[in-house]
Structure 1
Amino acid sequence: MLFMRKEWRKAAIVGLGGVGKTQVALQLAYWTKKHRPEFSIFWVPALSSATFEQAFAAMARKLPIQSGGDDDDLKQSVRRYLSSEAAGPWLLVVDNVDDSDIFFGSAGMPGSISEYLPESDDGLTLFTTRSREVAVSVAGSDVIRPAAAELLKELTYLPLAITQAAAYINIKQVPLAEYVELLHGTQQDIIGLMSKEFRDKTRYPGSQNAVATTWLVSFGQIRKSDNAAADLLSFISCIEPKGIPQSLFPSSESTEQLVDAIGTLCAYAFLTRRGDSKVFDMHSLVHLATRIWAQREGLTATTEEKATRHLATVFPSDDYANRNVWREYLPHGLRVLQHSKELDIKERSDLLFWIGRCLRADGRIKESAKSLEEACQWRIRHFAKDHPSRLASQHTLAIAYQANGQVQEAIELLEQVVAIQAKTLTQEHPDRLASQHELARAYQANGQVQEAVELLEQVVAIKAKTLTQEHPSRLASQHELARAYQANGQVQEAVELLEQVVAIKAKTLTQEHPDRLASQHELARAYQANGQVQEAVELLEQVVAIKAKTLTQEHPSRLASQHALAIAYQANGQV
C-alpha cells in the first residue's frame, strides 16, 4: 500500500500481541531492500523512550550529520536530515507503538517520540501497534475499497493470514473477489480440525479459521505446480520450524530444483529466509497446519520415516571440526526422534547414536545418556553380541555413563565389551584398544588406580608400535596414563608424559581444540601436585580464558577448569 500511491506516506499494522505484526513489517523491509534498493531502511523500536533513543543514536552514527552531543539535539538532527531532500527515499519502521503516553507524550511525561519522527515526500513510515486508536492517530483512517475490506474481514485482520493471502494473490495475479471465493470453497472439515488445534496458538477471535483457510488455498496450488516444494514442506513439518539450515534439506534431482522449491515456499510466505543467510524460519501455525494435513491424509508415518532416514544420513559425527554443523542440526534431530518413537528401523538407532555423541560433546550429559541408551537397546534387540554396531553403542553409552557419574554401570558395560573384543579382535585392533582405554578411565574414576595404570600401560605400549607420535588416539591414551600416574602418586612421570603430549598438540591442534585444552588442564594439575604452583596458575588462566570464549557457562569442562584454577590460586596464596 505504501508504494502504490504517493499520497500514502504512512501506514499502520494493528493487532494483538503475538499475531505477527513485526514479521509482516520485516517482510516489507526485506522486500524493499530487494526490489527498491534506492531506499534506505531504518528500524526503530518504540517500546520505551530508551529503546527509541538508542535506535536514533545508532542512526545518527550512520548518517552524515553532526550534533552537539545532547540527546535531544541528536534526535532533532536525525529528524531534520531525514526530512531534507539530501536524505533521498527511505522507509522507517516504528515497531511496537503500544503506549500512547510514550509515543505522543502526556502532562506527566514531557517530550514524546512522535515529535522526532521525520516528514518527507520521499519517506515512508510504517507503524506496528496493538492499539487501533494509535494506528488511526499515526496513519489516518483511509477507507479501503470494498473487495479488500471484505477480504480483510474474512481473514480476521490477522497479519499471518494476510501475508499468506497477499503472497498467493501476487503470484497468481487473481482479483481479490476471486480469492474470497477460493476461501469460501475450501474444505470445511479440515479447516475445522486445524482451527481446533490452532486455538491455543493465537489470541485473535476467529483467526484460527483464517490461517487454516489461507494455508489450504496456497498449499493446494503448491501441490499442483511444484511437487518438490510440497515434498520439502512435508519434510519441514517433521523438524523444528525455526533456524533451519539449507544444508539440512533433502536433495532434489538438481540444485536448481531445490532452489526453486525453496523459492516457491518463500513466495507463498510459508518460509522466511534470515537476511542473506542460508537459514530459514517457518511460522509455527504454518508448521502445525502442515502436520495436521499430513495426519488427516494418513501420511504422517511415511513422512516421519523419510525424515528420520534423511537425518540419519546427513547428521555429522561429533568431531570437533563439525561442531557448528551439529549444533545447528541438533534441535531438528531431537524433534524427529521425539515424533518417531514407534519407528523400528536401523536409521533411527543411527540417528540416536550420533545425536547422543554430539550431546555429550556439547556437555549435555543426561540427554546424551538417554539418547545412547535408546540406541543401545535397539541394537541389542536386533544385533548379535559381537556385532560391531552393538559393541560401539555399548562402548559409547559407557562413556556417557561415566560422565554422568554412573561409574559402576560404565565398568560393567565396558568389561563385557572388552571381554567380547578379546575373543574377536586382534590385540592392536583400534576398537579393542579404544574400549580398553575407556575401561581404564572408568577404573580410575572408581578408585581402581592400579588396574587403570596397568591397562593403560599395555594400551600405550601397543599404540607406540602401531601409531605415529602425533596420532590423536595415541596421544589420548598417553594423556590418560599420565592422569593415572598422578592418581597413583607417580607425579614426576605424569608431568614428563603430559609435557610431551602438550608439546605435540601445540603443533597439531588449534588453541581452542578441546583435546589440547584437556591436556593443558591436566598438566597444570600435575604441576601443582609437583609443587610448581606458579606454572599451574599461568597455564590454567590460559585454559579458562579460552574456554570462556568457546563453551557455555554451565559446560562441565569449563567449570572443571575454573574449579582447578581456584584451587591453584589458593595454593599460590591468592586467597
Structure 2
Amino acid sequence: MALELAYRTRKQNKSCSVFWIDASSIGGAHHSYTDIARKLKIPGWDNEKADVKQIVKLHLSRRDAGQSLLIFDNADSVNLSSNGTSVGRDASLIDYLPQSKHCSILLTTTNNDVARTVASYKIIELQEMEQDTAQSMLEQYLDTLLSRDEQPKARLLLQELSHLPLAIVQAAAYINNTNIMLQDYRIRLSQQAQADLKSISDVLDNKLQEYNGKNSIATTLHLSIEQIRHDSPLAAEYLFLAACVDRKDILLEFLEAPSSREREDAIRIINSYRLVMRRPAESSLDLHRMVHSALREWIGKRGMLGEWTEAAITQLCKVFPHDSHGNRSKWRRMLPHAKYALSHSHRNEEGTEKMDLVRKCAEALLSDGRYNEAETLFVQMMETRKRVLGDEHPDTLTSMANLASTYRDQGRWKEAEELQAIELQICSRVLGDEHPSTLTSMANLAFTLQSQGSVSEAVSLLENCCELQTKVLGLKHPDTVSSHQTLTEWRLETIQLEDEDDG
C-alpha cells in the first residue's frame, strides 16, 4: 500500500518529492536523512559537524521547500534503536518528523502502540489479502498464464502462503526461474516446510500469529536459497554476506568477485528470485526486513552465522575507506554495515581484522563529529589492546592517543590531559624521549594544557618538544616548523597577559 501511494502521489503531482526512510533503527534513519539532504543539495549537509536530522527537518518544514511525502518504513518502535550495536544512543522517532502542512508523512508499522502514539486517530489497519486479490497478484508475477486446471491448485498454494504478498512474489519468482509446474512447486514447498518444522522449537503462544506469517515467507525463502546454492554458489555467498550487514544500501563493491561480469551475473540471479532490490543509481542493494531476518535464521540453524559474520568483517575491512574528507560520503554509507557486523560478532575482540574495522569506524565517527560513538569504540580498542598486547605496546599507546583526542574534541580537557600524561610517560620510558611518537605525545599534551589556560606549563613543555624536534627531525621538518610557530604565538600571548596584569 505504501508503494502504491508513493507511485500514485508522483503520478498525480510531479512536483511532490517522495522519500523512503528506514525507520527500523537510528543508523537507517540517519542514512536515509543524509541521502535526502544530499539529493536536495541542502546547504551545509556535508559539514562534518552538521546535524543532518535537524537540517532536513528545517528544510522540509519551510514553505518554499515545496510539497513532499515522507514514508517511514518499519517504524515498529517509537524509540529508534542503535541496531544492537555497542555504539550510539536510542532516539525518538518523533524527533525525525517535520512539522509542515506541505510535508505529508506515512508510517508503516506492525506495532499498534506506535501507530496510536504517532498518528493518533489517522490509522489504517491492513487486513489479510483477499483470495481473488492474492490470485491476481500471483498471475501478475508469473511469466506464464495459469490454465483452468491450475486455478484450484493456485488457490491452495495461496492459502499455504497465508496470502502474504512477499511470499507470493518469491513463489512466483521460483516458478519462473525453474520452469516447474505449480503442483511441483507445492510439493517442494511442502517438503521444505517439513524440514523447517523439525528445527522449530519454543514458539511462544502470544507470538504464534506473527510466527506463522514469518514462517510462510521463511519457507519460500529457504526453498529459493537451496536452489540458488545449486545454480550459483557465488550468488548464495552474496546472500549470506548481505545477511551479516545492515539490510539497506549494501554497496556492490562489498560483494567481491573474480570479475565484474561474474558479480553482475550473481546479482542478476538473486534479483530474479526477488530476494533483493537494486538501487542502480547508488550501485547498491536492499533486502526486505523479513528476507534479511529469514536469511540469518537459515544460516544460524546451520551453525554458519559466526563464520559468515567474520567473512563480512574481513570484506568490510577491505572496502572501508580512510576517514579523509573526500571519502565522507562513502564511509557514511559503510558505517551502518560495519556497526551491524561488529555488534553481531561473537569472536574474541583480539582478531586483527575486527579491531582494524573498529578503528576505522571510530576514526570515521570522530571525523564526522559523532564523538560519543567514537569514544565508545576507542575505549573498546584501548581496553582490548591493553589486555592482549599490554600497556606499553605501540598500538595500545595509539589507542590512548585517539581516545584523548576524542576527549579534547568534546572539550573534556581534564580527562584528555590525564590520559595524555600517562601516554607520554609510557612513550618516554619505552620508546625514549627522542622517538617521533614521544614528540607527538609531548606536543599534544602541550596543546591540551594551553587550552585549559595552563599557559606557562604548555610553553615549557613545547619548548622542550621544539628542542628535541630540532635535534631529531631538523629545523626544516614540518613538525618542527609548526611547533616553533605555535611556541612563538604562545610566548606573545604570555607577554600580553603579563602586561595586562601589570596594568
What pairs with 1:348-427 in structure 2 (closer than 5 Å)?
348-425=354-431
User: What's the % identity of the aligned pairs?
Assistant: 30
**CA offsets 1:492-516 (integer angstroms, 9 cap, x no match):** xxxxxxxxxxxxxxxxxxxxxxxxx
| CA distance in structure 1 between the partners assigned to 2:362 and 2:137 by the alignment | 57
The match for 1:305 is 310
| CA distance in structure 1 between the partners assigned to 2:315 and 2:173 by the alignment | 30
How has the CA–CA distance of structure 1 residues 135 and 373 changed in structure 2, closer, same or farther, with 3 Å as cutoff?
A: same
| CA distance in structure 2 between the partners assigned to 1:205 and 1:290 by the alignment | 15
What pairs with 1:284-363 in structure 2 (closer than 5 Å)?
284-343=289-348, 344-363=350-369
Aligned amino acid, residue 401 of structure 2: H
**CA offsets 1:363-405 (integer angstroms, 9 cap, x no match):** 1111111101111111111214442212111111111123344
Cα drift, residue 134 of structure 1: 12
1:247 aligns with 2:253: yes
How has the CA–CA distance of structure 1 residues 255 and 208 changed in structure 2, closer, same or farther, with 3 Å as cutoff?
A: same
| CA distance in structure 1 between the partners assigned to 2:238 and 2:334 by the alignment | 17
Cα drift, residue 206 of structure 1: 3.9
- State the aligned residue count: 384
User: Which residue of 171, 178, 183 maps to 2:184?
Assistant: 178
Aligned with 2:13: secondary structure?
helix
The match for 1:258 is 263
1:152 aligns with 2:158: yes
| CA distance in structure 2 between the partners assigned to 1:229 and 1:381 by the alignment | 40
Cα drift, residue 429 of structure 1: 5.0
Aligned with 2:8: secondary structure?
strand
| CA distance in structure 1 between the partners assigned to 2:332 and 2:306 by the alignment | 26
| CA distance in structure 2 between the partners assigned to 1:199 and 1:376 by the alignment | 45
What pairs with 1:509-520 in structure 2 (closer than 5 Å)?
none
TM-score by length of 2: 0.64
Aligned amino acid, residue 270 of structure 1: L
1:54 aligns with 2:25: no
| CA distance in structure 1 between the partners assigned to 2:138 and 2:393 by the alignment | 74
**CA offsets 1:150-190 (integer angstroms, 9 cap, x no match):** 33222222121122112212211222222122111114353
The match for 1:76 is none
Aligned amino acid, residue 259 of structure 1: E
The match for 2:8 is 44
Consecutive unaligned residues of structure 2, counting only runs of 5 or more, are 18-105, 109-123, 140-145
| CA distance in structure 2 between the partners assigned to 1:176 and 1:289 by the alignment | 23
CA contact (8 A) 2:413 2:448 kept: yes
Higher relative contact order (CA 8 A, sep 6+): 2
The match for 1:278 is 283
How has the CA–CA distance of structure 1 residues 134 and 339 changed in structure 2, closer, same or farther, with 3 Å as cutoff?
A: closer
CA contact (8 A) 2:129 2:164 kept: no
CA contact (8 A) 2:382 2:399 kept: yes
The RMSD of aligned alpha carbons is: 4.4
TM-score by length of 1: 0.57
Consecutive unaligned residues of structure 1, counting only runs of 5 or more, are 1-20, 27-41, 46-50, 59-95, 99-127, 492-528, 530-575
Cα drift, residue 269 of structure 1: 1.4
User: Which residue of 214, 219, 226 maps to 2:225?
Assistant: 219
CA contact (8 A) 2:462 2:483 kept: yes
How has the CA–CA distance of structure 1 residues 241 and 390 changed in structure 2, closer, same or farther, with 3 Å as cutoff?
A: same
CA contact (8 A) 1:460 1:477 kept: yes
Aligned amino acid, residue 403 of structure 2: L
Aligned amino acid, residue 350 of structure 1: D
Cα drift, residue 53 of structure 1: 5.5
| CA distance in structure 2 between the partners assigned to 1:262 and 1:475 by the alignment | 53
**CA offsets 1:69-104 (integer angstroms, 9 cap, x no match):** xxxxxxxxxxxxxxxxxxxxxxxxxxx9x9xxxxxx
**CA offsets 1:461-504 (integer angstroms, 9 cap, x no match):** 77689589896x6787578668856874759xxxxxxxxxxxxx
Aligned amino acid, residue 448 of structure 1: S
